[in-house]
Amino acid sequence: MDIAPSPLARPFPEMPPIDGAILRVARAHYKTWDRADLTYAELAPGTTVAGVFTTSACASSEVELGREQVKLGSARALIVNAGNSNAFTGFRGREAVEQIMAQVATALGCEPSEVLVSSTGVIGVPLPKDKARDGVAAVLEAQPCSWDEAASAIGTTDTFTKGAHAAAMLGDKRAELCGFIKGSGMIAPDMATMLGYIFTDAAVEAAFLQEMLAKANAQTFSCITVDGDTSTSDTVLAFATGKAGNPPIASWDDAGADAFYAALLAVCRELAQLVVRDGEGAQKFIEIAVTGADNNASAQRVGMSIANSPLVKTAIAGGDANWGRVVMAVGKAGEPADRDKLSIGFGGVWAARDGQPLADYDEAPVARHLEGQEIRIDVDLGIGDGRATVWTCDLTHGYISINADYRS
Amino acid sequence: MDIAPSPLARPFPEMPPIDGAILRVARAHYKTWDRADLTYAELAPGTTVAGVFTTSACASSEVELGREQVKLGSARALIVNAGNSNAFTGFRGREAVEQIMAQVATALGCEPSEVLVSSTGVIGVPLPKDKARDGVAAVLEAQPCSWDEAASAIGTTDTFTKGAHAAAMLGDKRAELCGFIKGSGMIAPDMATMLGYIFTDAAVEAAFLQEMLAKANAQTFSCITVDGDTSTSDTVLAFATGKAGNPPIASWDDAGADAFYAALLAVCRELAQLVVRDGEGAQKFIEIAVTGADNNASAQRVGMSIANSPLVKTAIAGGDANWGRVVMAVGKAGEPADRDKLSIGFGGVWAARDGQPLADYDEAPVARHLEGQEIRIDVDLGIGDGRATVWTCDLTHGYISINADYRS
């Protein structure tokens, strides 16, 4: 299946190298395709790691192991396999991951637990150990590659490569943050998974890196949806090599903590939004801002109820300012709401306020807004101070074509 | 928009009259259409009523009032407006409902609280009081009509009329149960709502009728989904006229209670399945049986997670036995599950057992099964005794066409 690049695609940004992180790619031939599909990042001794993972009860061995590895907080390498998610493969899948960890650890002279592994692709087929072994051997000998090449090698059905960059001043030291991500819908045809990786030369203690990543995740990756379907392998890892020379950041009180977090949040937000921009069949990018909720968590759940509603998403696809469907999605969210205090707007124009359609509602500017690619929906619940912003895409014939017309 | 009848449609069944219930329809002209859109059921004195309603936090005035009315347990009339849901219309919407209740109560010499009202159609436009007044006046004078005519008059974008019948022996008395329903997806273009009505000549005390309806609802209407979008107006009402002559049923210990419940459950199940068969764009009817869950409620939530997954639904649309997507949907349900104990089958053939694909899995009979219109998915979680069966339809280009290509 050949899919044209998303109309919402962004060019891959200029990103500087990260001192202490070297990228390499190789061909493991996990599928019969003519491309690199095994990505390796070698990380300097002392690199800390944090991670957030799928909440799926059927997570892959990579995720199960990764959860334990980030608790230890130390990383020397990352391996990403593309074309086979190794999920739902039982003990044979786990053996393949442990083989990769041991092989890389031997080459680097580190602990196997310092080798993080991710896999993305078909579910239910154990990762072939021979291909993995040969691929890892090849990638360990490969020349360093660019961010763009690495971002491309982790992709499966992505229609464009996705990266984000930010910098933070940590006292008199400048730290760089570079990230890349794959994902096109939570799942692509018979493929799975959003995988994201962020590298920084800042020195950040592992526990605090985890705290910041979890906080940023709650406002970014946890606030996007393409189809509401959560993968068995979703993973975002952050690696801090410490080469920037700043005194290690270990708490919010430390110099540079706020600046670093702001940069981390910016990278996470951009990576998250890029996944939505590559959503299967997406023609429009939708930002949904919820205010006036009981609390922030409630606002996020209301936002995701709207963002996951097929009727809201098809309405936007059709350029229809159908606020009745937004009312429906607010109502079904299971969160505190008062029909008679609810306000809904599109593109900065209120269509309904305090539970009733506006008598002087002018649909013309709203109709023009909905003809565009960047859609904004405002929902004010009018009952509290909780707020959240979430992002999704529209639901189009393209989604059906990708997922129904295609046979695995 | 002209939509062809669903390929999954069922013919309207033969249904006997219910002693104590008289149906009439009239034209209120809620929309510019050439059809009856106001339905009236006159119920004999002594009729008891029970109801289940949407859990939406943005429910319509009809639902708010209905919740109170069924607590009183006595009904003399039902009015159903089609073409305008009167939802999200504030106090003006409520005034319209109260006007209808008062007008019918005056004509019948009963309490306004004994007049149940439902409305379905566009959200956010107050039900026009003048059209309602003239329509109610007309329907009170109309000739009695058939079940089929009443079922047709409550429809909006339904592609076929839907009814179900069962009978129960209550000691030496025979009771009839007749029901009809509307719904085509939880929401049709700019329309909303599943509305269902069940009439019986059995004598059943209101509180026990409510208990039985709630129990049946949990296994039927709460176990269907087309698109996961819950309407602001969903309503199912059951009326018992008492004309069958049986001693009133007031508890599970009373003669005929089990027989009546079995008949009620059968009618509810058939009505619920008919709504799925008219799901927007549906080409296949899907039954999902979940076993081995922690408990029944958990099994139901796992089943609904599968039934609501756009990736599972598009896979079925494409005839693809993609059990990896079923694993994904089980994993995201937020319920107890163990990846290594999970089994998944299609059409009675296991594709994966105990967390791994079967080595000798023969896809041929599964592929043949998936070419049909009636699809069965079995999921065994392998951790407990909980079980549930849910029903949905596939997700096709037809759904997108109905909901995105059409402008309200």
Where exactly are the structural domains of chain B? 21-277, 285-403
Minimum distance, in Å, between the CA of residue A313 and any CA atom of chain B = 8
B21-277: CATH topology: L-amino peptidase D-ALA esterase/amidase (3.60.70)
* Alpha carbon distance A89, A67 (integer Å): 18
* Alpha carbon distance B213, A54 (integer Å): 39
**DSSP bridge pairs for B39:** B25, B80
Residue B72 reports pLDDT greater than 70 = yes
pLDDT digits (tens, 9 = 90+) for B209-258: 999 999 999 888 888 887 777 777 788 889 999 999 999 999 999 999 99
Q: A55 and chain B: CB distance < 8 Å anywhere?
A: yes
Residue type, A118: S
Sign of CA dihedral B249, B255, B261, B264: negative
Q: B88 and chain A: CB distance < 8 Å anywhere?
A: yes
Q: Please report the pLDDT score of residue B159 as a whole number.
A: 87
| Average pLDDT score over residue span B152-174 | 90
- If you ran DSSP here, which 8-state letter would residue A361 be given? -
Classify A285-405 by CATH class: alpha beta
- Report CB contact under 8 Å: A58, B339: yes
A257 — pLDDT class (breaks 50, 70, 90): very high
Query: Comparing A272 with A342, which gets the higher pLDDT?
Result: A342
Task: Let me know: does B280 contact B8? Beta carbons within 8 Å.
Answer: no
Number of CB atoms found within 10 A of residue A142's CB: 16
Task: Let me know: does B22 contact B196? Beta carbons within 8 Å.
Answer: no
Closest CA relative to residue A293, chosen from A356, A339, A335, A344: A335
A406 — pLDDT class (breaks 50, 70, 90): low
Task: Let me know: does B231 contact B54? Beta carbons within 8 Å.
Answer: yes
- Report CB contact under 8 Å: A324, B88: yes
Residue B141 reports pLDDT greater than 90 = yes
| Helix, strand, coil content of chain B in percent (nearest 5) | 35, 25, 40
- Report CB contact under 8 Å: B328, A59: no
DSSP calls for A193-205 = --EEEEEE-S-B-
A2 — pLDDT class (breaks 50, 70, 90): low
* Alpha carbon distance B263, A363 (integer Å): 50
Residues found in chain B: 408
Work out the mean pLDDT of chain B and round it to a whole number: 90
ipTM over 0.85 threshold? no
Residues of chain B neighbouring A87 (CB-CB closer than 8 A) = 324, 327
Rg (CA), chain A: 22
**Crossing angle between the packed helical segments A310-317 and A323-331, to the nearest 10 degrees:** 160
For residue A188, the chain B residue with the least C-alpha distance is: B311
Q: B408: annotated binding-site residue?
A: yes
Closest CA relative to residue B225, chosen from B393, B54, B403: B393
The answer as to CATH 1.10.287.130 being correct for domain B285-403 is no
DSSP calls for A286-338 = EEEEEEEESSHHHHHHHHHHHHT-HHHHHHHHTT---HHHHHHHHHTT-S---
